[in-house]
Amino acid sequence: MNRANVTKKIKDEIARLGFSYCGISKAGFLEEEAPRLERYLENNMHGEMSYMERNFDKRLDPTILVPGAKSVISVMYNYFPSQKRNDNDDVKISSYAFGEDYHKVIKDKLYDVWQFILDEVGEVDGRIFVDSAPVLDKAWANKSGLGWVGKNTNLINPKSGSFFFIAEIIVDLDLDYDANEIKDYCGTCTACIDACPTDAIVEPYIVDGSKCISYYTIELKDQIPIEAKGKMDNWVFGCDVCQDVCPWNRFSTAHNEPLFQPKNNVHNLSNNDWLEMTEEIFKEVFRNSPIKRTKFEGIRRNLKFVLD
């Protein structure tokens, strides 16, 4: 089977499994990303996310991460919610956490893709990545023409906005590459910069991760800095502000993934619901949720910070 046919079959299977977009790039060193990543780390914009300091070379070169790699298959899976939060002063969670943990949902689908590749091609080597390894997801999606990296540093697709999970299969298989990077269409818009509650977008295309509400509520294990008091906009797990205000997300359409539908009314829990929640109930309600990452103590800390 020739390369074009293999590429088409893989993309067709990826679409059949519910992914919105797929782009393929030639595996190699990300030359433009190297100085950006270096500056990001030198300026301590990763805060206490020490894992960002490790595997520097692997982050920039998938052929080190996966020896013999020839292709990076980037996929995007929609999570734009069909059900919105109540428009009130209750605490909020990011819409990506309404349903089941995306890591498992998407990884299961990519294992199906991997099995399809093995069945079609035979013996190949590669790995699946779902936001859990040193891979620069947005850079590879941008490189394969799936969108541009906006001023809020989210990948923006001109047809569908930015509410997508990005994942990869890196494989030692020659495929047809999508070499048409999409032009940056942010223009003069500064909606995301103006709306960020903690001024984490320190300049266009640069987010100081150590000031981001998502960092405060998920990654940070110590106390949230006092300078963020009154600026959290009642977010207790993640933050969607820079996406909610992005004009390109007027093109977003609701996902059709049953596993991402809100469970146990988590998107509309009242302040009292959260405050009265015991650790036992927390573990039951969020058993298969991304929110379990903060653990009960983390959620209690976040609630106390935004509500006291």
CA 290-296-302 angle, to 5 degrees, is 85
Strand order in the sheet with 164-171: 21-26, 71-78, 164-171, 126-129
Query: Beta partners for 52?
Result: none
Q: Are 261 and 100 in contact (CB under 8 A)?
A: no
> Contact at 8 Å (CB) between 21 and 161?
no
Catalytic status, residue 137:
no
Residue 199's identity, in one-letter code, is D
- Could you say which of 131, 172, 184, 233 is catalytic? 131
Q: Are strands 126-129 and 164-171 parallel, antiparallel or unpaired?
A: antiparallel
* Residue 70, token pair as written in the block: 């020839």
Strands 235-237 and 92-93 come out as parallel
Residue type, 181: E
Secondary structure (3-state) at 251: helix
Residues serving a catalytic function are 131
